[in-house]
Amino acid sequence: MKIRSLLLAALLGVCAPAIAQDWPARPVKFILSQPPGTSPDIAARFIADRLARLLGQQVVVENRPGGQNVIGAQAAAKAPADGYSYFFATTAAIITNPLTFKALPYDPAKDFMSVAMIAKSPMVIAVNPAVPAKTLAELVALDKAQPGKLAAANEGAKTFSGLMSQMLNKTAGIQLLQVPYTGVAPALQDTVAGRTQVVLVSSAAMLPFIKRGDLRPLAVTAGKRVRGLEDVPTLAETYPGFEYVGWFALLAPTGTPAAIVQRLNRDMDRVLADPEIAKRLYDFGMVNEGAGTPASLNDFLRAERERWAKLVKDIGLQPE
């Protein structure tokens, strides 16, 4: 039995490079839990286009939106682990959903393998220009003078921006009225229109509004200042340790051949190093530091689970 096991291991070791060399023999698919036209969708499509040129095979983006990323994540988790289906994953699908739902039809920790980090997307706290606050300190003072008068738009109490907005209230000791929306676009539009006064969403979604002067940025949630928003301080400068960012990462269904995962990781790193791709991600307000390795992405996800579990506990949110 031992000899048979050793022979099998040796055979698999010989076959692994051949599997990676022959891959891909047909189109590759990115499953996305966001709708067409959103920042993740646009980023996924131009990355897929550049990866396709490198692979010599089409890379298709399949949108499976809905259910706070649950529909797309479930579809990706149940996809064949053959090296041809991947999840263009978000923070919500992998990290915050398990903390806010009592039950999920997928297990982020067991159903996926790490492939490559794609980019990080810091969140931005901004106000309608009519709000007499030009700094975070002024916003805090304004709210404390009239608690609950300022309304803060987000994507929902249990979404990434909603959780962070509640954490801001707790950390700063303020009482921004939390106004949940069904998506980023209406949250931004209502703040621009003045129906809400504060908004906290991703830099990728907010950057065009900032550039037009429709919104005034007060702080970013990244640990360091963001390229393109260098004049905007981080929340951590005022509240040390307040560092939360959204991100996109490429994951594979568990059981995908390791040789293919390693090959795709290397190819994704080449794509992300391309000056045109780097610029386009930057233009979307995303921080691109390369694909890393599957092991480094595993470490990152482990740290993110701990970080967000503490946030959910601190704000007293109960899963439903």
Contact residues for 311 (Cβ-Cβ < 8 A; gap 6+): 163, 164, 167, 244
Q: Is 273 within a domain? A: yes
Contact 64, 75 (CB under 8 A): yes
115 and 14 fall within a common domain: yes
Picking from 191, 156, 129, the residue whose alpha carbon sits closest to that of residue 68 is 156
Q: List phi, psi (to 5°) of 208.
A: -60, -35
Among residues 54, 74, 57, the alpha carbon closest in space to that of 65 is found at: 74
CATH of the domain at 216: 3.40.190.10
Structure tokens given for 56:
């010599």
Domain holding 46, by residue range, is 2-121+245-315
64 band by pLDDT with thresholds 50, 70 and 90: very high
Q: What is the pLDDT of residue 145?
A: 96
Q: What is the pLDDT of residue 156?
A: 83
3-state class (DSSP) for residue 126: strand
Within a 10 A sphere around the Cβ of 310, how many other Cβ atoms? 12
Same domain, 174 and 212: yes
Question: pTM of the entire structure?
Answer: 0.86
User: Do 127 and 230 share a domain, yes or no?
Assistant: yes
pLDDT at position 123: 92
The two counts, helices (H) then strands (E), for the chain are 14, 9
State the number of CA atoms in the 13 A half-sphere of 42 facing the CB: 13
pLDDT tens track for 74-99: 999 999 999 999 999 999 999 999 99
Q: What pLDDT score was predicted for residue 19? A: 60
Whether residue 174 is found in the same domain as residue 197: yes
What is residue 215's predicted lDDT score, i.e. its pLDDT?
98
In a domain, 176, yes or no: yes
CA-CA distance, 263 to 294, in Å (whole number)?
11
Please report where in the chains the tokens 């700094």 appear, as a residue. 135
Q: Are 206 and 175 in contact (CB under 8 A)?
A: no
Residue 18: the pLDDT is 56
- pLDDT at position 143: 96
What's the confidence (pLDDT) of residue 12?
A: 52
Answer whether residue 17 shows pLDDT above 70. no
Last residue of a domain, one of 238, 255, 286: 238
CATH of the domain at 52: 3.40.190.150
Cβ proximity of 302 and 295 under 8 Å: no
Three-class DSSP category at 115: strand
320 is a domain residue: no
Task: Let me know whether 252 and 117 are in one domain.
Answer: yes
- For residue 297, is pLDDT > 90? yes
Q: Cα(161)–Cα(151) distance, rounded to whole angstroms?
A: 14
For residue 14, pLDDT beyond 80: no
- DSSP letters of 135-158? SHHHHHHHHHHSTT-SEEEES-TT
pLDDT value for 270: 97
On whether both 150 and 253 belong to a single domain, the answer is no
Computed over every residue of the chain, the mean pLDDT equals 91
Distance CA 131, CA 142 (A): 9
**Residues 159-205 pLDDT 10s:** 888 999 999 999 999 999 999 998 888 999 999 999 999 999 988 88
For the cut 80, the answer to whether the pLDDT of residue 8 exceeds it is no
Q: Specify the number of domains making up the chain.
A: 2
Distance (Å, whole) CA 14 – CA 264: 19
Position 163 in a domain: yes
Are 94 and 137 part of one and the same domain? no
Final residue belonging to a domain, choices 205, 238, 271: 238
Q: Which residues of 16-46 are buried (b: 16+ CB within 10 A; e: fewer)?
A: eeeebeebbeeebbbbbbbeeebbbbbbbbb
As a whole number of angstroms, the distance between CA 225 and CA 46 comes to 26
